[in-house]
């Protein structure tokens, strides 16, 4: 009599378990695949009963193994015990049950994952929304500050323009006052001459030097015509030139006569112009210059005019009545140099 298999109905040689009640046989591999959490040693116990006998009525358990009926095509419902008239579950039924369980678990997991993702996204979006709101508030604050700064800038810009206009007026005023002060200083020197490069001696008599030079140039000077006579400090202390002698005459006319005589003498003398030998000073001949006594501003302007004349090829630079004059050649017109702006315009 052949064995009755209640698992897969395949008569194959391998270990099997026998139900102590219905005497049906079950392959251990089939039982292991169906009852994964069960201990395999329980299937080999003498009192082991299959799941059909454990859940069936007493009448169903007494049926002989040879009176086995065919299994209904209908699958058992999930989580419900088999009925007394049901056939043993096949591998296909078990696979279907497992697939439904997996599908249900998958749906549950997907729902939980969806809820988790929604919660995370909602939380992150809330954080981003708060940051955007904070940025909006900051931008509004900056915008208000920008408007205030713009207003202040407009105010300060107008103030700066006003100050610039005032500064320009002050510059013009200062320039005008400087010119007037220079004119006053030059006018105060209208009776003075400056004798340059006369060697210095401790016991020198500057009035006698002035009178002696007057005799040389053919213009005798009375002592009462000389109001004051002194040497002045050097502008450049490192210079090795002797200090200049400033002579103040009693009037501009007396000064102009002395200057004119000195100019005529130098024109007529050729190479023997005024020098230290005319004063009876032995040794190397050193030239002596007699010029108008210029104010500090005019003296600096005169020096700058000589440098400019040399650079541009001007032949003549001279001083007359406290004014600085330039001429490119003997045929061109002379130019009055009032300030450095006039020098910059020369070509």
Which is it for the CA torsion 303, 307, 312, 315, positive or negative? positive
pLDDT at 54: 78
pLDDT at 35: 73
What share of the chain has pLDDT > 70, as a percent? 87
Residue 250 has pLDDT above 90, yes or no: yes
**pLDDT mean over 59-67:** 43
- Residue in 79, 70, 84, 78 with CA at minimum distance from that of residue 22: 84
Residue 11's pLDDT band (boundaries 50, 70, 90)?
A: low
- Structure-model confidence comparison of residues 25 and 13, the more confident one: 25
CATH superfamily of 189-293: L1 transposable element, RRM domain (3.30.70.1820)
pLDDT at 20: 87
- Residue in 11, 42, 41, 38 with CA at minimum distance from that of residue 27: 11
pLDDT at 302: 92
Mean pLDDT over each residue of the chain, to the nearest integer = 84
**pLDDT mean over 211-219:** 93
Per-residue pLDDT tens for 266-302?
999 888 899 999 888 888 889 999 999 999 999 999 9
- The β-bridge partners of 313 are none
pLDDT at 181: 92
Residue 26 has pLDDT above 70, yes or no: yes
Residue 211 has pLDDT above 50, yes or no: yes
pLDDT at 247: 95
Residue 86 has pLDDT above 70, yes or no: no
Residue 254's pLDDT band (boundaries 50, 70, 90)?
A: very high
Residue 244 has pLDDT above 90, yes or no: yes
The Cβ of residue 288 has, within 10 Å, a number of other Cβ atoms equal to 25
**pLDDT mean over 210-239:** 91
What's the burial of 33, exposed, middle or buried (CB within 10 Å: 0-12/13-18/19+)? middle
DSSP result, 216-279: HHT----GGGEEEEEE---SSTT--SPPPEEEEESSHHHHHHHHHHHHHHHHHHTT--SBGGGG
- Structure-model confidence comparison of residues 299 and 31, the more confident one: 299
Per-residue pLDDT tens for 144-189?
889 889 898 999 999 999 999 999 999 999 989 988 998 999 999 9
Cβ atoms of 342 and 334 closer than 8 Å? no
Cβ atoms of 41 and 32 closer than 8 Å? no
pLDDT at 36: 66
Per-residue pLDDT tens for 197-208?
999 998 899 999
Residue whose structure tokens are 């009693």: 250
Residue 225's pLDDT band (boundaries 50, 70, 90)?
A: very high
d(CA 216, CA 289) in angstroms, rounded, equals 13
pLDDT at 171: 92
d(CA 276, CA 200) in angstroms, rounded, equals 11
The residues spanned by each domain of the chain are 16-89, 91-188, 189-293, 294-347
Q: Quick check: pTM over 0.85? A: no
pLDDT at 87: 58
- Residue in 334, 331, 315, 312 with CA at minimum distance from that of residue 323: 334
pLDDT at 59: 43
Phi, psi dihedral angles at 192 (to 5 degrees): -105, 150
d(CA 205, CA 289) in angstroms, rounded, equals 18
What share of the chain has pLDDT > 90, as a percent? 41
């Amino acid at each position: 009599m052949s064995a009755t298999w209640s698992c897969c109905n395949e008569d194959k040689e391998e270990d099997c378990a026998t139900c102590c009640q219905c005497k049906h046989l079950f392959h251990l591999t089939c039982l292991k695949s169906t009852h994964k959490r069960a201990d395999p040693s329980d299937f080999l116990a003498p009192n082991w009963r299959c799941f059909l006998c454990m859940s069936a009525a007493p009448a169903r358990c007494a049926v002989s193994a040879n009176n086995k009926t065919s299994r209904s095509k209908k699958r058992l419902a999930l989580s419900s015990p088999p009925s007394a008239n049901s056939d043993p579950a096949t591998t296909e039924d078990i696979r279907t049950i497992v697939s439904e369980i997996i599908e249900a678990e998958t749906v549950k997991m997907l729902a939980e994952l969806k809820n988790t993702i929604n919660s995370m996204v909602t939380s992150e979006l809330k954080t981003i929304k708060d940051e955007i709101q904070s940025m909006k508030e900051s931008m509004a604050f900056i915008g208000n500050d920008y408007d205030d700064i713009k207003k202040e800038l407009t105010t300060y810009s107008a103030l700066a323009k006003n100050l610039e206009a005032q500064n320009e007026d002050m510059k013009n005023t200062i320039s005008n006052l400087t010119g007037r002060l220079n004119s006053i200083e030059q006018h105060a020197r209208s009776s003075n001459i400056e004798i340059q490069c006369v060697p210095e001696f401790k016991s020198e008599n500057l009035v006698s030097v002035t009178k002696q030079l007057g005799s040389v140039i053919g213009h005798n000077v009375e002592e009462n015509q000389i109001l004051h006579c002194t040497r002045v400090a050097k502008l450049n202390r490192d210079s090795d030139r002797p200090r200049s002698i400033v002579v103040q005459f009693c009037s501009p006319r007396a000064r102009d006569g002395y200057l004119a005589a000195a100019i005529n003498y130098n024109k007529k003398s050729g190479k023997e112009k005024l020098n230290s030998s005319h004063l009876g000073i032995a040794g190397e001949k050193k030239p002596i210059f007699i010029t108008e006594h210029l104010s500090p501003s005019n003296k600096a302007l005169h020096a700058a005019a000589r440098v400019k004349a040399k650079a541009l090829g001007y032949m003549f630079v001279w001083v007359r009545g406290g004014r600085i004059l330039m001429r490119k050649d003997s045929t061109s017109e002379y130019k009055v140099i009032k300030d450095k702006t006039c020098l910059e315009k020369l070509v």
